Chains A and B, each alone.
Chain A
Amino acid sequence: MSTVLSVKHLKKEYPKFTLEDISFSIEEGSIMGLIGRNGAGKTTTIKSILNLIHTTSGEITYFGMDLAAQEEAIKQQIGYAGGAVDYYKKKKIRQIVQVTKTFYSQWDDAAYRKYMELFELDEDKTPSELSEGMKVKLNLVMSLSHGAKLLILDEPTSGLDPVSRDELLDVFKALAERGVAILFSTHITSDLDKCADSITYIRKGKLQFSGSMHDYIEQNRAQGVGENLEEIMLHYEKENFHEKLAQ
């Protein structure tokens, strides 16, 4: 399997927060969960790898290409969906798609129609008429129609009901089987139990772990930290909190 995304020693300094020494890589056809509590640095990481913010240092490569040098070529092959972000709320999906497709050399109309039908999306609706889950699906359709080999999703499951969340996770699994790599951030650890192969856990701006999810759980289980991701995360995240509470 080839490496789709590689991040090495990523650092981003803000006046009151620093994301430090984040390294991880994603292989073709795999699903990686980017986890951490609110404010840990998940969105900063995603923004950095999309070149939406300027990193202080580090190396980001997609398909062996450097992000800074070949951003346009890379963006032809990746797709992004943010949970709460929607574009052109009052324009018809048909109109948004007509414009968007002109930017992608690999746009596939047949794939577009197939995914629209699969997700039961209506081209004559506007994003404002879609539920949160449908908005995420619309972003997925757009990404898949231009042949994205990697999907970067920022909290795609937040705000979804349990059924929609479950459906979306099934979609992720089906896409991974077709070779699409998925990186998605979440603070709902149960999402990962169902579909993730690996995790990257960020805590207070620092990398806590990146690698096989199974190995991480086993490792922590052996140390008596917790039986599943949720228990492990709670253990680490609440260490300081309990100390402060006792003072």
Chain B
Amino acid sequence: MKNLLNKEIKLAASPLSWLFLVFGLMALIPGYPILVCAFFICFGVFQSFQSGRENNDILYTVLLPVRKTDTVKAKYAFTSLIQMLGLVVAAAATLLRMLLLPDAAPYAANPMMNANQAFLAYMLLIFAAFNVIFLGGFFKTAYKFGKPFVLFIIVSFVMAGVAEVLHHIPGLTFLNATAPLTDPVMWGILGAAAVIYLIATLLSCKVAMKRFERVDM
């Protein structure tokens, strides 16, 4: 598995997958739907799938002395790696805002989403959606990725829209707090999202392995 992940990084990955991690810094932008950074990070992963298809990556991999299902696991591992790095970048920007700039005027009077634990939780949910919709959909054929990616675009933008609406609903305004560092509910939301991400990714990987097993190359 280590060798396959190494192959993903050194041969299959598009440089854009790494470059788009910078979008995690969008968490610093006030008055902007910062959750789209999760979409852009996934878009970076998508570029690697595109580059992989252009370079016959899947065929190369299944011809190696590895189990066919390991090909799927390696793609999930690479995707999760990028997503976690993207989350770290966004979390660093979020912490910067929460610790050093909680009272900065653009954030205190921000009509759009503030960067806090809920924002990071939403990011994880969008990542989970990518893994279920795009990765799961791709491995039905291991070739066609247009439809699953379009579906992911729609779902991720709906999710970002809903997340932007939530904190305007009376009773849920705490979701937009600028520095809820000691709020257990906010940490609970982040924890729950992490659990959902983990379960959704593992289940999706299992389904994708079964789907790919049936694919004729």
Q: Which A42-73 residues sit within 8 Å CB-CB of chain B?
A: 47, 50-54, 71-73
B104 CB–A CB distance under 8 Å:
no
Q: How large is the interface on B (under 10, 10 to 19, 20 to 34, 35 or more residues)?
A: 20 to 34
**Quick one: closest B residue to A91, CB to CB?**
B11
Which listed segment binds A: B58-66, B92-100, B149-157?
Answer: B58-66
Contact A54 B214 (CB under 8 A): yes
For the complex, what is the distance from the CA of A88 to the CA of B65, rounded to whole Å? Answer: 18
Q: Which residues of the partner chain B approach A236 to less than 8 Å between Cβ atoms? A: none
Contact indicator A75/B64 (Cβ below 8 Å): yes
Cα of A154 to Cα of B53 in the assembled complex, Å: 20
A80-93 interface code vs B (CB 8 A; 1 in, 0 out): 10000111111100
Identify the closest chain B residue to A103 (Cβ).
B64
Provide the residues of chain B in CB contact with A47, threshold 8 Å.
Answer: 216-217
Would you call B63 and A73 a contact (CB within 8 A)?
no
A52 to B58, CA, bound (A): 11
Chain B residue, CB-CB nearest to A79: B63
How extensive is the interface on chain A, given as a class?
20 to 34
A53 touches B216 (CB 8 A): yes
Contacting pair B216 A96 (CB below 8 A): no
From DSSP, what is the main secondary structure of chain B's interface residues?
A: helix
Partner pick for A87 among B6, B57, B67, B68, CB 8 A cutoff: B57
- How far apart are the CA atoms of A74 and B63 in the complex, in Å? 11
Whether A99 lies near B59 (C-beta < 8 A) is: no
Q: Say yes or no: A72-B65 contact (C-beta < 8 A), given A88-B60, A99-B10.
A: yes
Interface centre among A76, A102, A104 (most CB of B within 10 A): A102
Closest CB of chain A to B124's CB: distance in Å?
31
**What residues on B are CB-neighbors of A80 within 8 Å?**
63
**Could you name 28 residue pairs across A and B whose Cβ atoms are closer than 8 Å?**
A47-B216, A47-B217, A51-B68, A52-B216, A52-B217, A53-B217, A54-B214, A54-B216, A71-B65, A71-B67, A72-B66, A72-B67, A75-B63, A85-B59, A87-B55, A87-B56, A87-B57, A87-B59, A88-B11, A89-B54, A89-B55, A91-B55, A95-B11, A98-B10, A99-B6, A99-B7, A99-B11, A103-B64
Known A89-B55, A91-B11, A91-B55; further 20 A-B contacts with Cβ < 8 A: A47-B216, A47-B217, A50-B63, A51-B68, A52-B59, A52-B63, A52-B216, A71-B67, A72-B65, A87-B11, A87-B57, A87-B59, A87-B60, A88-B55, A88-B60, A89-B54, A95-B10, A96-B11, A99-B6, A103-B65
Residues on A facing B (Cβ under 8 Å): 47, 50-54, 71-76, 80, 85-91, 95-96, 98-100, 102-104
Q: Chain B residues in contact with chain A, CB under 8 A?
A: 3, 6-7, 10-12, 54-57, 59-60, 62-68, 214, 216-217
